[in-house]
Amino acid sequence: MAQGSAKIRIAHAEPLGQGARLLRVERVDGAELGFAGGQYVIINTGVTLPGGKLAKRAYSMLSSDAEQRAVEIAVKRIGAGPGSNVLNDIAVGAELEWSGPWGKLRLPPGFSGRALVIATDTGITAALGIARSAAAAGAAQLDLLWLVEPGETFVSEAFVRERLPAAVRLTVAGDFLPVGHPERPARACALVGDHVAAGPYDAALCAGDGAVIYPVRDRLASLGAPEGSVLLESFFNNPMKKSL
């Protein structure tokens, strides 16, 4: 997979829910990105932060990796956050710089087993990329569990269902506890346990709240998940960063 910096152009933009935007992005040189579903890119917004660093933000590609010359990303406006606000306001045709693709949250080529994809909150973008990937097309079964708070305005359930392949089985826990709630990890582990009770999975891929998906990984291991079969991508609350 190709990696490195490249100039990109905003080819299309449209509103997505309340306070979010769907962007279609392409490389200025017309080259293929070379990504697999579940990976992300890091976009340099061009904004200089108070400490002098540039505001660079990671975004998962939610479109199918069958299309490599243009990709879709979803950007949620986060308060006064400089990165998300730039990308929610940027004009079609504007050019920026990105690097990537990055990340190992993807099914291996030729995967033919049963896979469970777990997403909390905005992690649904990575989950969509995985579910729509070429690797997922050969899966014997792919279940997607989305844990989301009531009233979430990032993307709708209808948006997700419209983009999922027909074979993917989606379960939406739309009454999930809010970020930071002390019972959030336990609730997620219980829901995951219900899925695993129906039969073992050969792979599990988790994206979203690090405070949730790390306990979920441990729960899956306790339920017999093969070593190395559970992959994680923290969108926020990454406990590994805090420990450094």
Q: Tens digit of pLDDT for each residue in 22-42?
A: 999 999 999 999 999 999 999
Place of tokens 């009233």: 151
Q: How confident is the model at residue 78 (pLDDT cuts 50, 70, 90)?
A: confident
Task: With H, G, I as helix, E, B as strand and everything else as coil, classify residue 72.
Answer: strand
Q: In this model, does residue 243 exceed pLDDT 70?
A: no
Q: In this model, does residue 209 exceed pLDDT 80?
A: yes
Q: Decide if 148 contacts 208 (C-beta within 8 A).
A: no
Q: Decide if 101 contacts 9 (C-beta within 8 A).
A: no
* Percent of all residues in the chain with a pLDDT value above 70, rounded to a whole number: 98
Can you give the pLDDT at residue 2? 53
The alpha carbon of residue 100 and the mean position of all alpha carbons in its chain are separated, in whole angstroms, by 15
Q: Tens digit of pLDDT for each residue in 112-151?
A: 999 999 999 999 999 999 999 999 999 999 999 999 999 8
Can you give the pLDDT at residue 55? 85
SS (H, E, C) 175-192: CCCCCCCCCHHHHHHHHH
Can you give the pLDDT at residue 109? 93
- Cβ neighbours for 87, distance < 8 A, ≥ 6 positions apart: 21, 23, 43, 45, 57, 75
Which residue segments constitute the domains of the chain, with CATH numbers given? 5-102 (2.40.30.10), 114-242 (3.40.50.80)
Q: How confident is the model at residue 242 (pLDDT cuts 50, 70, 90)?
A: low
Q: Of 45 and 205, which is predicted with more confidence?
A: 205
Q: Tens digit of pLDDT for each residue in 142-196?
A: 999 999 999 887 899 999 999 999 999 999 998 999 999 999 999 999 999 999 9
Q: How confident is the model at residue 1 (pLDDT cuts 50, 70, 90)?
A: very low
Q: How confident is the model at residue 213 (pLDDT cuts 50, 70, 90)?
A: very high
What is the DSSP secondary-structure string of 86-128?
A: HHHHPPTT-EEEEEEEE---SPPTT--SEEEEEEEGGGHHHHH
